[in-house]
Chain A
C-alpha cells in the first residue's frame, strides 16, 4: 500500500517535472525564436551533412542509380583493398602530427615571447606573424622560391654554394614534397589560436606573477609552468582545437604547390582521396565512408588533446 502510494507520488512528481519543463519552454518562446534561424541553418548545413555521410557510407550510392545497402563493404575495401587510401591515412597522420603540435607550440611561444614588448611593437610583430595565415593563396610564393629551374632562389643558392650541379625539381621530387608542404603549412598556421594566446596572456593578472616571485619562482620557465599555463587553460583548450582542425586542412596547399595527384601519391591525403572519389568519380557511398573516417580522426584527435590539456596544473 505504502509502496503504491510512493510510486503514485513519484509519478505525480514526474508529471510536475514534465509540466515544469513545458512551462519553462513556453515562458521562453522568445529565446527559441531567437536561436531558430541560426540553429535551423546550422542543422541543415552541418548536422545533416554529417549524419547523411554516415548513412550513405553504408550504401553504394553513385548519384545515378538507386542505392543498395552494402553495410561495411566500403570500409572493408578502404582498409584492405585500397593501397592509395593507406598512403593517404599515413600522410594525413604525418601532416597532422607534425603541423598540429608544431603550430600550436610555435603560436604559444611567439605569443609568450612578445607578451612583454611595448604595445605598439607587439601589434607590429603580431601582424608579421599573423599575416601569412589570412592572405589567401599568397603561399604560392613558396612555389616561386622553390621553383624547378635555376631562377628559383633555392636552386640558385644551392648552385652558387656548389652543393648541387643541376636544379632540383622540388615539388615533383618525392623526397622533398612532404617536407616542403609541411614547412609551408607551418608558415600559414599562426592563425586564430595565436591570437587567442596573445589575448589570454594579456588577460593574466600581474599580481599573480608578483606573488609568484615572492613565493620563490626563480626563472621565466618556472613562471610559465606554475603560473602562466594554468591561468590560461581555457585559451589553451580553444587554441588546441583551432590548431588541430587547421592541421587536418592543409590539402589545399599540397594541391596548389605539388599538383593533384602529387608524384606517386607521395603527399596524397585523406582529403585528396575524398575529392577524387566524391568530386571526380561520383562514388558517393565510398567517399562518404572516407569522410566518416576523417570525421572520426578529427574528433578523436581533439578529444585526446582535450584530455591531455585538462591535466595541466592538476
Chain B
C-alpha cells in the first residue's frame, strides 16, 4: 500500500501548480470560444422577435418562447414541396447510404485485414491515399460520370457514392487489425467454417464499436449534406437544403431560421452523446503505420 502511494506521488510530481493553473485558464478560454456560439444559437431560437432585433443585443434571452419553433412548422406546412418530402429524402438517403456503406466496407475491411491475398496492400494503400484529398478534386469529373450513368437528379447519385467512402473502410480495417484475434479465426478455419461465415458470425460481433462509428460518420455526412450539384428537382432535395432556404428568408424569418439551426444541430449532437465512448474506442486503433 505504502509503495503504491509513493508511486502515485512520483507521477504527480511531474505537474507544477503553475502549469496546472495556466492550462486550466487556457482550457476555459478555448472552451468559451467553442461553446458560447453554440449557446447563442439556442438563445436566439428562444428569443421573441423584439428581442432578436433589440439594440444593444443581449446574449441571454429575457422572456423565452417557443414561438419560433411554431413559426418554423407553419412555414414548413406552407412550402411548395411538402416538408415531409424533404425529411423523407434526407432519411432515405442517410439510411440507405449508411447501411450499404457499413456492409460493403466491413466486408472489404475484413478481407483486407484478415486474409492474406496478393494485391491487398496495394488496395489498402490506394484507399489510404484517398484520405489525403477531398471531394472538391473529383467534383467535376464525378458530375460527368453521373451524367454518363444517367443518375443525375435521382437518389442513386447521392446514395451509391456514400457506400464507398474511404474513411469508413480505413477505420474498420485498422480496428479489425487490432481487435480481432487471428487465432480465433484460424481455429474456425480449421473447423471448416467458410470465410463469409467467419466474417459474419465471429468477426463482426467483435467490432461493434467500429460499426457504430461507421454508422455515425456516414449518417452525419449524409444528414448535413445541403444542396447537391447532382440534384435539380425540388422534390429530391434534402432537409438541410430546405432549412437553409428558410434561414435565407431574411429579417421576417430570423426567428424561424434560428429555430431551424437548433433542429439541424440537435440530431448529430444527440447521436454523438449516445455513441461517444464507442467512437473513441474505434479511434484508438486509427493510427497510421507509415
| Interfacial residues, chain A to chain B (CB-CB below 8 A) | 21, 24-25, 28, 30-32, 34-35, 37-39, 41-42, 44-50, 52-53, 56, 63, 106, 109-110, 113-114, 123, 125-132, 134-138, 140-142, 144-145, 150-153, 156-157, 159-160, 187, 190, 192, 195-196, 198-200, 202-203, 206, 209-210, 212-214, 217-220, 222-223, 232-235, 237-238, 241-242, 244-246, 248-249, 251, 271, 274-275, 278-279, 284, 287-288, 291, 294-295, 298-299, 302, 306, 310
Q: Is B31 within 8 A of A128, CB to CB?
A: yes
- Asked if B44 CB lies within 8 Å of chain A CBs, one says yes
Which residues on B sit within 8 Å (CB–CB) of A141?
37-38, 40-41, 44, 261
Given contacts A30-B115, A39-B108, whether A235 and B141 have CB atoms under 8 Å apart is no
Flag if A41 contacts B160 (CB, 8 Å).
Answer: yes
Is B155 on the interface with A (CB-CB < 8 A)? no
Contact B134 A31 (CB under 8 A): no
Closest residue of chain A to B247, judged by CB?
Answer: A140
B137 within 8 A of A: yes
Which chain A positions have C-beta within 8 A of B166?
A: 42, 46
Contacts A34-B199, A53-B141 given; 20 further ones with Cβ under 8 A? Answer: A21-B118, A31-B195, A45-B142, A49-B137, A49-B142, A56-B141, A131-B269, A132-B34, A134-B224, A137-B226, A138-B264, A187-B37, A192-B283, A202-B284, A213-B13, A214-B10, A235-B283, A249-B134, A275-B139, A298-B133
A233 & B287 in contact (Cβ 8 Å cutoff): yes
Q: Decide: A53 and B40 in contact? CB cutoff 8 A.
A: no
B164 close to chain A: CB less than 8 A:
yes
CB 8 Å contact bits of B255-288 with A (1 = contact, 0 = none):
0000001001100110011001101111110111
Which A residues are in CB contact (< 8 Å) with B10?
210, 213-214
Contact assessment for B56 and A299 in the assembled complex, using a CB-CB cutoff below 8 Å: no
Candidate in B11, B59, B141, B143 with the most chain A CB atoms within 10 angstroms:
B141
Secondary structure at the A interface, as helix, strand, loop or mixed, is: helix
**B144, chain A: closest CB distance, angstroms:** 7
Q: Pick the 7 closest A-B CB pairs, nearest first.
A: A234-B287, A135-B265, A199-B283, A49-B138, A38-B108, A28-B117, A136-B224
Distance (whole angstroms) from the CB of B202 to the closest CB of chain A? 14
Residues of A within 8 A of B240 (CB): 136-137
> Which A residues are in CB contact (< 8 Å) with B44?
141, 144
User: Does B283 contact A150, Cβ atoms closer than 8 Å?
Assistant: no
The smallest C-beta distance from B21 to any residue of chain A, in angstroms, reads 12
Most buried by B among A42, A109, A145, A217: A42
Residues of B within 8 A of A151 (CB): 52-55, 57
Q: Which of B32-76 contact A (CB under 8 A)?
A: 33-35, 37-38, 40-41, 44, 52-57, 59
Count of A-B residue pairs with CB < 8 Å: 305
Q: Assuming the A-B contacts A140-B247, A141-B40, are A196 and B286 also in contact, with contact meaning beta carbons closer than 8 angstroms in the complex? A: yes
Contacting A at CB under 8 A, from B104-149, are 104-105, 107-108, 110-112, 115-118, 120, 123, 126-127, 129-134, 136-145
Query: Which of chain B's residues has its CB closest to A270's CB?
Result: B136
B110 CB, nearest partner CB in chain A, Å: 7
Residues of chain B at interface, number, CB under 8 A: 98
Cα distance A157–B30 in the bound complex, in angstroms: 20
A217→B15 CA distance, assembly (Å) = 11
Once the chains are docked, how many angstroms separate the CA of A10 from the CA of B199? 40
Q: How far is the CA of A148 from the CA of B104 in the complex (A)?
A: 48
Beta-carbon nearest neighbor of A50 in chain B: B138
Q: How many angstroms from the CA of A184 to the CA of B131 in the assembled complex?
A: 23
A34 nearest CB across to chain B (Å): 4
Specify the chain A residue showing the minimal Cβ separation from B269: A131
